[in-house]
Structure 1
Amino acid sequence: MDGHKERASEAFFGRRRGKALRAAQIKREETLLPLLKLDLSKPAPEQLAELFFNGDAPHIGADVRIEIGFGGGEHLVHEMDRFPQTGFIGVEPFVNGMAKLLGALEGQKQRLQHIRLYDDDATELLDWLPSSSIAGVDLFYPDPWPKKKHWKRRFVNEKNLDRFARVLKKGAPFRFASDIDTYVNWTLFHCAHHPDFIWSASTPDDWKLPFQEWPGTRYEEKAMKAGRTPAYLTFVRK
C-alpha cells in the first residue's frame, strides 16, 4: 500500500528486545537479515513467488504463507522443512526471537531459498501484500494483553480480520493458537461475527486437537506445565 511508512504503527506487540545478543547473533542480524528482509518501500510483486527468486530457476510454487509473531521460529522452521515448495514470510518484531530464527537458517541453503522476513509491525506487511495472494496465515500464542484496558491491542480485531480477508485466497486458513481462554473466546467471537470467515470445527472437541504434525513450542510447553490448556482454532476464508 502506498504511504505505509507515513502512518503510525498500530503496535500490537510489546517489548522489542530482551537479553543482550551475543556477538554471533549480532553478526547474523547485520549480515543475514538484510538478505532476507522484505523491502516494503518497493511495490509488492503481483506473483509473490517472485520474492523468492535468487537468480536461479524458480523453486517456489504458487503458495506463500505467513506466520505472524513466530517467537523462536520452531514452528516456522518445521513447516518450511515440511513444505519445501512453499514460500514463507515470517514476521517477528522481537529482536531476540528473530536472532534465534536466523541461527536456525544460517548455512541452511534449502531453508534460505524459501523464507523472507519482516521485523516490524505485521499490519504494514499485510497492507503491502496484493489481494488474494496468501495461502495461509498463522498466529500462534500472540500477546494476550490480559488487562481489559489493553484489549484494543490484541491482534485479532475487526480491522485485522479485514486485512486477513483481503490477502487470503478463497478457502485459505487463518490458524490461531492460545492458552489464554479469554483470548480464545475473543477470537471465536470476532471471527464468528466477521462475514468472510467460518470456523472449520466439525466436532465439539476440535479446538483441543493440535494442528496436523504440530511440533509444539517452548512457550506452549511452559503454559501446559503451568496448567493452562491450549486451544487450536482454524478459520477458513469464504
Structure 2
Amino acid sequence: MPHPPLRSFGRIKSRVIKPRQAALMDSLLPQIRVPAEPFEPRTLMPEAAEVWLEIGFGGGEHMAAQAARRPDVLILGAEPFQNGVASALRHLDEQQLTNVRLKDGDARELVGHLPDGGLERVFILFPDPWPKARHHKRRLVQADLVAELARVLKPGGTLRFASDWADYVDWSLERFTASPDFRWTADRADDWRTPPADHVTTRYEEKRLGDCAPVFLDFVRA
C-alpha cells in the first residue's frame, strides 16, 4: 500500500473556533464541500464559465474577493487549517457567495480527483515555506505536484504562485520552469515585484512574516 505524501502544512487548528463560525462548519460546509471521490467540477455549477482552484486559501479573504468579482466562475478552495476554513465560511456567508466549493483538507487529494484539463486557473499564495533545509521535502511545490497541476490545467490556463520567502520563490521557480508544461510569463523585474492588477492583498500578506517583499510568479500552461 503506497504511503501518503508528507504533510505540506503544520497545525490544523489553533484557537477555539468562534460560535458563529462553528455553526457554519456544521451547516454551510456540508452543503459546499467538494466530493470525496473523482468528480467533474462543472456538475457542481453547470452554468460556470470557468473553474478556478485556490490551494491553501488561509482565511479565505482572497478566495472570497475573487468569487465576488467573478460570480460566473466556480472557485474550488482547499485548506487543512480548520480556523481558516471557519473564517472562509464566514466570508462566504456574509457576502452570500454561492460560487465556491471547499475541501477542508489536503489540496493534493482534491487535485488528484479532478479530471484532465478541468481548470482554467490555479492560485498558490503564500504557502507554508518550511524554511529549514531538513524540512524542504515537506514543501507543497514539488515535481509531482507540478505534474499534477499541468494535468488538471487546460492549455492556456494560468497558475500564480506567491511567497515572501526568497528561497521558496527560487525553489518554486526552478520546479515550474523545469516542467515543459509551464511557461513563466515575466519579461522584467516589475512583473514579479509588483502585485498583479487582479491580486487581492490579505491581512496575512500585510504582516510580512517572510524574509523578502512578496514575489508573484505567473505561469501559463503550454
- Rounded Cα–Cα distance in structure 1 between residues aligned with 2:6 and 2:116: 21
Shift of 1:107: 5.4
- 3-state SS in 2 of match to 1:202: coil
Cross-structure match for 2:17 = 21
Equivalent residue number for residue 184 of structure 1: 169
Q: 1:229 to 1:23 in 2, by over 3 A?
A: same
CA distance in 1, matches of 2:163, 2:186: 16
Structure 2 residue 44 is the aligned partner of structure 1 residue 51: yes
Q: TM-score, normalised by structure 2?
A: 0.94
Paired with 1:196 and 1:213, the residues of 2 have a C-alpha distance of 24
In structure 2, relative to structure 1, the CA distance for the partners of 1:73 and 1:150 (3 Å cut) is same
More strand by share: 2
> Is residue 2:98 matched to residue 1:102?
no
TM-score (norm 1): 0.88
Per-residue CA deviation, residues 145-197 of structure 1 (Å, 9 max, x unaligned), is 00101101111110000010000010111101100000001111111111111
Deviation, 1:9, is 4.8
Give the alignment's Cα RMSD to 1 decimal.
1.8
Match runs of 1:87-126 below 5 Å: 87-106=74-93, 108-109=95-96, 111-112=97-98, 114-126=99-111
Which blocks of at least 5 consecutive residues in structure 1 are unaligned?
A: 53-57
- The residue that corresponds to 1:229 in the other structure is 213
Alignment partner of 1:214 out of 199, 208, 213: 199
Q: Sequence identity of aligned pairs in percent?
A: 40
**What CA deviation, in whole Å up to 9, does each residue of 1:3-57 have, x standing for no partner?**
9xx862542111100100122111110111000001223x412xx22112xxxxx
Structure 2: which 5+ residue stretches go unaligned? none
Taking a change above 3 Å as real, the CA distance of residues 204 and 107 of structure 1, as seen in their structure-2 partners, is closer
The Cα of 1:235 is off from its aligned counterpart by: 0.9
Check whether the contact 1:10–1:123 (CA below 8 A) recurs between aligned residues.
Answer: no
**Aligned match of 2:138:** 153
- For the pair 1:175 / 2:154, whether they are aligned, the reply is no
CA–CA separation in structure 2 for the residues paired with 1:117 and 1:7: 25
Equivalent pairs counted in the alignment come to 222
Runs of 4+ in 1 over 2 A off after TM superposition: 6-10
Structure 2 equivalent of residue 40 of structure 1? 36
The answer to whether the Cα contact below 8 Å between 1:10 and 1:121 also exists between their aligned partners in 2 is no
- Give me the whole-angstrom Cα distance separating, in 1, the residues matched to 2:73 and 2:11: 31
